[in-house]
Amino acid sequence: MTFRTQILTLYPDMFPGPLGTSLAGRALEEGKWSLDTINPRDFATDRHRSVDDTPAGGGAGMVLRADVMASAVDHALAQQPDAPVLAMTPRGKPLKQGRVRELAAGPGVTIMCGRFEGFDERIFDARPIEEVSIGDYVLSGGEMGALVLLDACIRLLPGVMGAACSGDDESFETGLLEYPHYTRPQKWEGRIIPEVLRSGDHAKIDAWRQQRAAEDTRLRRPDLWERHRDVPDQSPSGAQ
Ligand code: ADE
Protein backbone atom coordinates (compact mmCIF):
# COMPACT_ATOMS: atom_id res chain seq x y z
CA MET A 1 0.00 0.00 0.00
CA THR A 2 1.29 3.44 -0.89
CA PHE A 3 1.72 5.98 1.91
CA ARG A 4 0.13 9.01 0.29
CA THR A 5 1.42 12.45 1.24
CA GLN A 6 -0.07 15.78 0.25
CA ILE A 7 1.83 18.97 1.07
CA LEU A 8 0.15 22.36 1.12
CA THR A 9 2.96 24.78 0.40
CA LEU A 10 3.65 28.07 -1.31
CA TYR A 11 7.04 26.59 -2.26
CA PRO A 12 6.31 23.28 -4.02
CA ASP A 13 9.87 23.29 -5.44
CA MET A 14 11.13 22.43 -1.95
CA PHE A 15 9.66 18.91 -2.38
CA PRO A 16 10.75 16.15 -2.49
CA GLY A 17 14.08 17.97 -1.93
CA PRO A 18 16.32 15.73 0.18
CA LEU A 19 13.60 13.05 0.20
CA GLY A 20 14.27 12.50 -3.51
CA THR A 21 17.63 10.85 -2.74
CA SER A 22 18.86 7.86 -0.77
CA LEU A 23 16.42 5.59 1.05
CA ALA A 24 13.36 7.84 0.71
CA GLY A 25 14.11 8.61 -2.96
CA ARG A 26 14.28 4.93 -3.85
CA ALA A 27 11.08 4.26 -1.91
CA LEU A 28 9.38 7.10 -3.81
CA GLU A 29 10.46 5.61 -7.14
CA GLU A 30 9.22 2.21 -6.01
CA GLY A 31 5.81 3.65 -5.13
CA LYS A 32 6.10 2.91 -1.41
CA TRP A 33 5.08 6.50 -0.82
CA SER A 34 3.69 9.21 -3.09
CA LEU A 35 3.97 12.97 -3.00
CA ASP A 36 1.52 15.60 -4.21
CA THR A 37 2.04 19.29 -3.60
CA ILE A 38 -0.92 21.63 -3.41
CA ASN A 39 -0.24 25.34 -3.77
CA PRO A 40 -2.69 27.44 -1.75
CA ARG A 41 -2.16 30.21 -4.30
CA ASP A 42 -4.21 28.14 -6.74
CA PHE A 43 -7.17 28.65 -4.38
CA ALA A 44 -6.87 32.43 -4.08
CA THR A 45 -9.94 34.32 -5.23
CA ASP A 46 -8.67 37.80 -6.08
CA ARG A 47 -6.84 38.86 -9.20
CA HIS A 48 -3.56 39.20 -7.31
CA ARG A 49 -3.90 35.57 -6.13
CA SER A 50 -3.24 36.70 -2.53
CA VAL A 51 -2.86 34.05 0.12
CA ASP A 52 -2.04 36.38 3.01
CA ASP A 53 -2.98 39.71 4.51
CA THR A 54 -1.91 42.07 7.29
CA PRO A 55 -2.59 41.02 10.90
CA ALA A 56 -5.84 42.22 12.48
CA GLY A 57 -4.90 44.56 15.33
CA GLY A 58 -1.71 45.63 13.60
CA GLY A 59 1.87 44.50 13.94
CA ALA A 60 4.57 43.10 11.73
CA GLY A 61 4.35 40.38 9.14
CA MET A 62 1.56 38.76 7.21
CA VAL A 63 -1.00 36.11 8.11
CA LEU A 64 -2.17 33.26 5.87
CA ARG A 65 -5.85 33.71 5.08
CA ALA A 66 -8.30 31.21 6.57
CA ASP A 67 -10.61 31.19 3.54
CA VAL A 68 -7.83 30.43 1.04
CA MET A 69 -6.19 27.82 3.29
CA ALA A 70 -9.57 26.18 3.93
CA SER A 71 -10.18 25.78 0.20
CA ALA A 72 -6.78 24.15 -0.17
CA VAL A 73 -7.41 21.86 2.84
CA ASP A 74 -10.85 20.91 1.47
CA HIS A 75 -9.27 20.00 -1.84
CA ALA A 76 -6.72 17.80 -0.01
CA LEU A 77 -9.46 16.18 2.10
CA ALA A 78 -11.46 15.40 -1.02
CA GLN A 79 -8.41 13.62 -2.45
CA GLN A 80 -7.71 11.70 0.73
CA PRO A 81 -10.46 11.92 3.37
CA ASP A 82 -8.90 9.35 5.73
CA ALA A 83 -5.43 10.92 6.10
CA PRO A 84 -4.86 13.19 9.12
CA VAL A 85 -4.30 16.86 8.34
CA LEU A 86 -1.25 18.23 10.14
CA ALA A 87 -0.05 21.83 10.28
CA MET A 88 3.60 22.53 11.03
CA THR A 89 3.71 25.27 13.69
CA PRO A 90 6.20 26.10 16.46
CA ARG A 91 3.35 26.01 19.01
CA GLY A 92 2.21 22.53 17.90
CA LYS A 93 2.53 19.33 19.89
CA PRO A 94 6.20 18.28 19.89
CA LEU A 95 6.72 15.41 17.45
CA LYS A 96 7.74 12.13 19.11
CA GLN A 97 8.62 8.71 17.74
CA GLY A 98 5.31 7.28 19.01
CA ARG A 99 3.25 9.65 16.84
CA VAL A 100 5.61 9.03 13.91
CA ARG A 101 4.91 5.28 14.25
CA GLU A 102 1.15 5.87 14.31
CA LEU A 103 1.29 8.11 11.25
CA ALA A 104 3.52 5.69 9.33
CA ALA A 105 1.03 2.88 10.05
CA GLY A 106 -1.81 4.91 8.52
CA PRO A 107 -2.81 5.68 4.92
CA GLY A 108 -0.69 8.84 4.63
CA VAL A 109 -0.61 12.46 5.76
CA THR A 110 -1.68 15.87 4.54
CA ILE A 111 0.69 18.56 5.82
CA MET A 112 0.07 22.30 5.83
CA CYS A 113 3.20 24.44 5.76
CA GLY A 114 2.99 27.92 7.23
CA ARG A 115 5.01 30.96 6.23
CA PHE A 116 5.10 34.52 7.53
CA GLU A 117 3.43 35.01 10.93
CA GLY A 118 1.39 31.83 10.52
CA PHE A 119 -2.23 30.93 9.87
CA ASP A 120 -5.42 32.86 10.66
CA GLU A 121 -6.45 31.18 13.92
CA ARG A 122 -9.97 30.41 12.68
CA ILE A 123 -8.69 27.69 10.35
CA PHE A 124 -7.94 25.50 13.41
CA ASP A 125 -11.55 25.85 14.58
CA ALA A 126 -13.08 25.27 11.22
CA ARG A 127 -11.16 22.18 10.06
CA PRO A 128 -9.79 19.08 11.84
CA ILE A 129 -6.11 20.05 11.98
CA GLU A 130 -3.38 18.70 14.27
CA GLU A 131 -0.61 21.20 14.92
CA VAL A 132 2.86 19.65 15.11
CA SER A 133 6.20 21.18 16.11
CA ILE A 134 9.58 19.62 15.39
CA GLY A 135 11.32 21.47 18.22
CA ASP A 136 11.55 24.57 20.34
CA TYR A 137 12.98 26.92 17.74
CA VAL A 138 11.40 28.94 14.97
CA LEU A 139 11.85 28.00 11.32
CA SER A 140 11.15 30.40 8.48
CA GLY A 141 8.36 28.12 7.31
CA GLY A 142 6.82 24.73 7.86
CA GLU A 143 8.45 23.08 4.82
CA MET A 144 11.60 21.94 6.63
CA GLY A 145 9.44 20.59 9.43
CA ALA A 146 7.30 18.70 6.92
CA LEU A 147 10.43 17.17 5.38
CA VAL A 148 11.62 16.07 8.83
CA LEU A 149 8.25 14.52 9.68
CA LEU A 150 8.06 12.75 6.32
CA ASP A 151 11.58 11.38 6.61
CA ALA A 152 10.80 9.95 10.04
CA CYS A 153 7.64 8.27 8.67
CA ILE A 154 9.06 7.01 5.37
CA ARG A 155 11.93 5.08 6.92
CA LEU A 156 9.37 3.09 8.92
CA LEU A 157 7.28 2.05 5.91
CA PRO A 158 7.37 -1.67 5.16
CA GLY A 159 10.35 -2.60 3.00
CA VAL A 160 12.02 0.81 3.13
CA MET A 161 14.76 0.06 5.64
CA GLY A 162 16.78 -3.11 5.47
CA ALA A 163 16.09 -5.58 8.29
CA ALA A 164 19.52 -4.75 9.66
CA CYS A 165 18.65 -1.26 10.81
CA SER A 166 14.99 -1.66 11.71
CA GLY A 167 15.68 -2.81 15.24
CA ASP A 168 13.36 -2.06 18.14
CA ASP A 169 16.34 -0.95 20.21
CA GLU A 170 16.80 2.27 18.23
CA SER A 171 16.85 5.58 20.03
CA PHE A 172 13.41 6.49 21.44
CA GLU A 173 11.78 3.16 20.57
CA THR A 174 12.58 1.82 24.03
CA GLY A 175 12.22 5.18 25.76
CA LEU A 176 16.00 5.34 25.93
CA LEU A 177 18.76 6.65 23.69
CA GLU A 178 20.53 4.01 21.67
CA TYR A 179 23.80 2.42 22.86
CA PRO A 180 27.03 3.53 21.10
CA HIS A 181 28.33 1.80 17.97
CA TYR A 182 31.83 0.89 16.83
CA THR A 183 33.41 -0.60 13.73
CA ARG A 184 36.90 -1.42 12.42
CA PRO A 185 39.69 -0.57 12.84
CA GLN A 186 39.90 -2.24 16.22
CA LYS A 187 42.37 0.39 17.38
CA TRP A 188 42.17 3.97 16.12
CA GLU A 189 44.23 6.91 17.40
CA GLY A 190 45.00 4.87 20.50
CA ARG A 191 41.32 4.15 21.22
CA ILE A 192 40.12 0.58 21.27
CA ILE A 193 36.66 -0.92 20.79
CA PRO A 194 35.25 -2.12 24.16
CA GLU A 195 36.47 -5.66 24.76
CA VAL A 196 32.98 -7.08 25.39
CA LEU A 197 31.92 -6.29 21.81
CA ARG A 198 34.62 -8.65 20.53
CA SER A 199 33.80 -11.42 22.99
CA GLY A 200 31.20 -13.14 20.80
CA ASP A 201 29.09 -13.61 23.96
CA HIS A 202 25.74 -12.22 22.84
CA ALA A 203 24.13 -12.25 26.27
CA LYS A 204 27.03 -10.22 27.62
CA ILE A 205 26.92 -7.87 24.62
CA ASP A 206 23.16 -7.30 25.10
CA ALA A 207 23.66 -6.60 28.78
CA TRP A 208 26.47 -4.13 28.02
CA ARG A 209 24.34 -2.36 25.41
CA GLN A 210 21.35 -2.06 27.72
CA GLN A 211 23.55 -0.73 30.48
CA ARG A 212 25.16 1.85 28.15
CA ALA A 213 21.75 2.90 26.77
CA ALA A 214 20.54 3.50 30.32
CA GLU A 215 23.71 5.30 31.38
CA ASP A 216 23.86 7.55 28.30
CA THR A 217 20.17 8.44 28.66
CA ARG A 218 20.59 9.30 32.33
CA LEU A 219 23.55 11.57 31.59
CA ARG A 220 22.47 13.13 28.28
CA ARG A 221 18.69 13.26 28.62
CA PRO A 222 17.64 13.27 32.27
CA ASP A 223 14.10 14.19 31.10
CA LEU A 224 13.80 10.93 29.12
CA TRP A 225 15.44 8.99 31.93
CA GLU A 226 12.92 10.20 34.52
CA ARG A 227 10.02 9.25 32.26
CA HIS A 228 11.53 5.85 31.53
CA ARG A 229 11.96 5.14 35.23
CA ASP A 230 8.30 6.00 35.82
CA VAL A 231 7.29 3.35 33.27
CA PRO A 232 9.71 0.46 33.76
CA ASP A 233 9.72 -2.74 31.70
CA GLN A 234 8.96 -1.11 28.36
CA SER A 235 11.95 -2.33 26.36
CA PRO A 236 11.40 -5.37 24.10
CA SER A 237 13.23 -7.67 26.50
CA GLY A 238 11.52 -6.18 29.53
CA ALA A 239 14.88 -5.14 30.92
CA GLN A 240 15.98 -1.60 31.80
N1 ADE B 1 7.31 26.31 11.63
C2 ADE B 1 8.09 27.24 12.19
N3 ADE B 1 8.76 26.75 13.22
C4 ADE B 1 8.40 25.43 13.33
C5 ADE B 1 8.75 24.39 14.22
N6 ADE B 1 9.62 24.56 15.22
N7 ADE B 1 8.18 23.20 14.04
C8 ADE B 1 7.28 23.02 13.05
N9 ADE B 1 6.92 23.96 12.19
C10 ADE B 1 7.47 25.17 12.33
**pLDDT digit string, tens, across residues 160-172:** 998 655 556 788 8
- Of residues 116 and 8, more confidence is placed in 8
Residue having the nearest C-alpha atom to atom 4 of ligand 1: 90
CA of 93 to the centre of ligand 1 (A): 10
State how far the Cα of 176 lies from the Cα of 213, in Å rounded to an integer.
Answer: 6
The C-alpha atoms of residue 213 and residue 183 are separated, in whole angstroms, by 18
**Res 238: pLDDT:** 46
CA–centroid distance, 39 to ligand 1, in Å, is 19
CATH code linked to domain 167-230: 1.10.1270.20
Is 83 within 8 Å of 60 (Cβ atoms)? Answer: no
Chain mean pLDDT for the chain: 94
Enumerate residues 6+ apart whose C-beta is below 8 A from 1. 107
pLDDT digits (tens, 9 = 90+) for 192-224: 999 999 999 999 999 999 999 999 999 999 999
Residues of the chain with CATH 3.40.1280.10: 3-154
The CATH H-level superfamily of 3-154 is SPOUT methyltransferase, trefoil knot domain (3.40.1280.10)
Looking at ligand 1, which atom is closest to the CA of residue 140? 2
Q: Note the pLDDT tens digit of each residue in 171-198.
A: 888 899 999 999 999 999 999 999 999 9
Q: Is the CB of 138 under 6 A from ligand 1?
A: yes
Strand ranges (E), the chain: 3-8, 33-38, 52-53, 63-64, 85-94, 108-113, 129-133, 187-188, 191-192
Task: Round to whole Å and give the CA distance between 149 and 138.
Answer: 16
Mean pLDDT of 153-162: 96
Q: Determine the distance separating the centroid of ligand 1 and the alpha carbon of 144, expressed in angstroms.
A: 8
Residue extent(s) of CATH 1.10.1270.20 domains in the chain: 167-230
How many angstroms is it from 88 CA to the middle of ligand 1? 6
Predicted TM-score (pTM) of the model is: 0.94
Q: Residue 240: which pLDDT band, with cuts at 50, 70 and 90? A: very low
Q: Is the CB of 139 under 6 A from ligand 1?
A: yes
Helix H or strand E segment including 91: strand 85-94
Among protein residues, the one with the nearest Cα to ligand 1's atom 7 is 133
